[in-house]
Chain A
Amino acid sequence: MRSSSLVRLAARNATRKPTRTLLTAGMVVAGTSLLVVALAWVEGIFSQMLEQGTDASGHVRVVAPEFAAREALMPLYENIPDTGPLVEQARGAPGVLGIYPRITAGVTLTVGDEIGDVFGLAVGAPREWFTERMDADASLAEGRWFEEGADELVLGATLARRAGARLGDEVVVLGTTQDGSLSPVKGTLVGITRGGNALLDRQVFLPLPKMRWLADIPEGATEVLIYGGHHDDAPGIAAGISALPAAAGLTVQPWTVREPWAGMVKTIGAVQGFLVFIVVFLAGLGVWNTMMMSVLERTREVGVLRAMGLTRAGAVALFVGEAAAIAVLGGIVGVALGSLPAWWLSHHGLTLSEQLTSNFSEQLPISATLYARLTPGTMVGSFFLGLAMAVVGSALPALRAASIQPVAAMRHER
């Protein structure tokens, strides 16, 4: 069957009851605009988390196998005793832009004569790691960053407040060596950071040599963090690192195999899928309602078309086509409408209060300002999901139309 007449009829039918058509279009407009904002928002938040998270923990990480197995205990004794050869060889590996040994350990802080009862996480790494990967300068709320070889340290804002530490104070950081002996180091507080990130605000940052001294790992580290241009490059870089002689016997992990990131990628998909399902379902319900009215009103007309040779499939196409015609316009309007707030959120973000951030999560680095991420893919995808709303919503009414018998044409009650 030639379909141009049917297409025309479907499109004309959409003009029949303007109010009802507007209602149907309104469902699609609401649905698609909501999707654009919600999907851009979810994508923005998650990619921000992934970016920050992989910045903090390395696109690729090299550790001792036992360290990977018991990471939660932060076992200092499962270290890489000499990181020199690995750092040297990794420099030549394809795609590698940065290599940083790092030691992390739980410590208590003492300021002045007080006995330390403030717990924090000490992070010792080369100064470039802080400046290049942790955005150190931008996150400084007061003072400056430490000098690499100096007896200086920097505190997260939350930790500084709890310990009552001010710039210039002598801070004693009490940790343990890899053998478990108590090990204090002393430093002048030269800076306080407020990254807006709950986790980072509870840390104390030390130069790597000072941390090595504290942990008694003079040449090594518990982790070596390796970075490429983008966190998407991690699997390729990991393959290159694994092949290095210095990596023999060590565990090389791209972020994609590490928690919480691996789970987060699945979560992104699940969250977006759930959003799509709910919105398409609700908008489809609205479309169903208005399209069903149209089908019931046009029973005799459908009978006439069936008498003239319209097949059941043709009747389905007629009503799905009408809904789709409405959805094409509704989808364009909806994507345009939704893109405005999504675009705004992608530039200005939404800033959470510090209190909310610090209660938010101990596990995930959630930044204080959440940005949406509006991609062409999200816009095009939302448009097609608008079509899906029309198809889903008009499916049952269209099947109802297909069940109208041709004899309906001959009935002439009003």
Chain B
Amino acid sequence: MPICELRGVSRTYGSGPAKVHAVREIDLVIEAGEFTVFVGPSGSGKTTLLNMVGCLDQPSEGEVLIEGRPTAGLSDRALAHLRAERIGFIFQAFNLIPVLTAVENVELAVQLGGGGDGRARARQALAEVGLTGLEGRRPNQLSGGQQQRVAIARALVRKPALVIADEPTANLDSANGAQVLELMRELNEKHGTTFIFSTHDAMVMEHARRTVFLHDGRIARDEVRAAPAPRAGEGR
């Protein structure tokens, strides 16, 4: 069963002459364990599409199924629960809570999902992204790359089925960006977690197994590479 399926999904903003078709009639199936990137120029609809895949937003037309279940009729509370349980998010601007330490940020994700043992699980997740020793730091005491690792730990701590990452490397230099992508890839292979991320950076898309090209809100091309992508040259 696919992790996520989009059927005839469109999303428009506004109405009348100012109406914007951000995403048009998308059909897309994401299978479990995929490492997929949405690529396209700015304004092509990547974020809009990720919003709907991640159940942050509802399509204007068409339907989104998560693990085979339609999401259209779900209440706000049920959607919140679904996101907490099954979906993790990584953002371009990291979006850590500035008043919480690294470990508290991760622990918050455990507790929002209703899980126990949050502190221990948060420490373990931070260890997995290589941040042991920095648990007590606040976001402003961490580098951009470190912050994004905390965000990855936060997204993965509840072992979600799907992780959504909107331009996760856009605020990082290329070395840090490559490390973050490599980390995501490792976690994808180790836990089988499905990753969907977006980028407009050609270097970044080379890490992906599957590349979905967007143009003006439509899928222009959908490529799957048979072999694992080569690792970035300038990494370790």
Which residues of A approach B to under 8 Å, CB–CB? 1-6, 8-9, 12-13, 15-16, 300-301, 304-314, 405-407, 409-410, 412
Contacts and interface: CB of A to CB of B under 8 A. Distances in A.
A305 B112 contact: yes
Contacts, number: 94
Nearest to B107: A5
B77 interface: yes
B100 A9 contact: yes
A311 B91 contact: no
A309 B81 contact: yes
Contacts of B140: none
Contact of A5 (B76, B98, B104): B104
Given A5-B112, A8-B104, A309 B80 contact: yes
B37 to A, nearest CB: 16
Size bracket of the B interface: 35 or more
Interface in B65-106: 76-77, 80-81, 83-85, 89, 91-93, 95, 97-100, 104
B12 interface: no
Contacts of B118: 2, 5
B99 A311 contact: no
A410 B99 contact: no
A4 B113 CA distance: 13
B111 A2 contact: yes
A412 B80 contact: no
A229 B91 CA distance: 74
B80 A306 contact: yes
Contact of A407 (B51, B107, B115): B51
Given A1-B114, A5-B118, A9-B100, A309 B84 contact: yes
17 contacts: A1-B112, A1-B114, A8-B100, A9-B100, A12-B100, A16-B98, A301-B97, A309-B81, A309-B109, A312-B80, A313-B77, A407-B57, A409-B56, A410-B51, A410-B166, A412-B91, A412-B92
A300 B95 contact: yes
Nearest to B138: A12
A29 to B, nearest CB: 23
Contact of B116 (A2, A300, A308, A311): A2
Nearest to B116: A2
Given A309-B80, A311-B76, A15 B99 contact: yes
Contacts of B131: none
A16 B112 contact: no
